A and B are shown apart, each in its own frame.
Chain A
Amino acid sequence: MNQSFSIPAGDFSHAGQAASEIKRLLKQLNIPPKVIKRVVVALYEAEVNVVAHSFGGSISCTITPEHIDIVVSDCGPGISDIELAMSEGYSTASSEVREMGFGAGMGLPNIKNNSDSLDISSSEQGTSIHMRVNFKEHTP
């Protein structure tokens, strides 16, 4: 099953709509609530990142019986130092983003903590993150 969403840049009112839709879908598929929470937290943070930091992007979700694969791609300007961006507390967010309750340098760490695999590639042309969450219940 495939689902795609587009994310306009800078439009905070729409951030979370894709996560909301995926949450509804996973509930219908009887995925365990704890797993759904991992998926939607990671996806929501990724949506906020695209709205907050990029020139716009898109989300593509593929659901199989075992897992969900989510690819979030944007049109730039890219992350100059991914390792630094992954460290908790590091942020390049604008004051507008902070006013929305984000921008504390927790987005990418939250995505990492809630996905079973995470790949990030980035250039000036754009950033693409691929995350997978397995449906078998996670034991922390």
Chain B
Amino acid sequence: MKLKEVVEVINGRIICGDAFLDREVHLGFASDLMSEVLTLLDEDILLITGLSNIQSIRTAEMSDITQILFVRGKQPTKNMIDLANEHEMVIMTTPYSMFRASYLLHESGLKPVY
């Protein structure tokens, strides 16, 4: 699904990366544990996380993941947004919980990694 569809499905807001909303993503991975994200071999992944700090952006950078969804309305800091922009990432937030966001995105066609 396209990232602009992701935003609609989870009643989300785009924080940065407006220029890349036509990007397609096929897999979703929900975790607050960055070491777990670092084990993923796929790159075509939407990272769904409640961990809003610089390490979540760094982890995405190392994993070649270019889209992150922060749940429960978590707001990234300016440092995080700057780093995300540097790597052409799309950052979104949703007021929904990780469970609800994952459920809705799966219903809309996003597949699990495992």
- Could you list which residues of chain A lie within 8 angstroms of chain B, going by C-beta atoms? 12-13, 15-16, 19-20, 23, 33, 37, 40-41, 44-45, 48, 99-102, 104, 106-107, 110, 113
Is B56 located at the chain interface by the 8 A CB criterion? Answer: yes
Q: Report how many A-B pairs have Cβ atoms within 8 Å.
A: 65
- Place the interface of chain B in its size category: 10 to 19
Which B residues form the contact surface with A (CB < 8 A)?
A: 32-36, 38-39, 51, 53-56, 58-59, 61-64, 79
Give every chain A residue within 8 A of B58 (Cβ-Cβ).
15-16, 19-20, 44
* Residue of B32, B36, B56, B59 touching A106 (CB-CB under 8 A): B36
Least distance between A61 CB and chain B CB atoms (Å): 15
Main secondary structure on A side of the interface with B: helix
Is there an interface contact between B61 and A20, defined as CB atoms closer than 8 Å? yes
Q: Which of B32, B54, B64 contacts A37 (CB 8 A)?
A: B64
- Please list the 8 inter-chain residue pairs (A to B) with the smallest Cβ-Cβ separation, ordered nearest first: A106-B35, A16-B58, A101-B34, A101-B51, A40-B62, A41-B38, A44-B62, A101-B55
Q: Is the interface of B mostly helix, strand, loop or mixed?
A: helix
Does B35 contact A12, Cβ atoms closer than 8 Å? Answer: no
Residues B62 and A19 in contact, CB atoms below 8 Å apart = yes
CA distance A102 to B46 in the complex (A): 20
Contact of B35 among A19, A99, A107 (CB under 8 A): A107
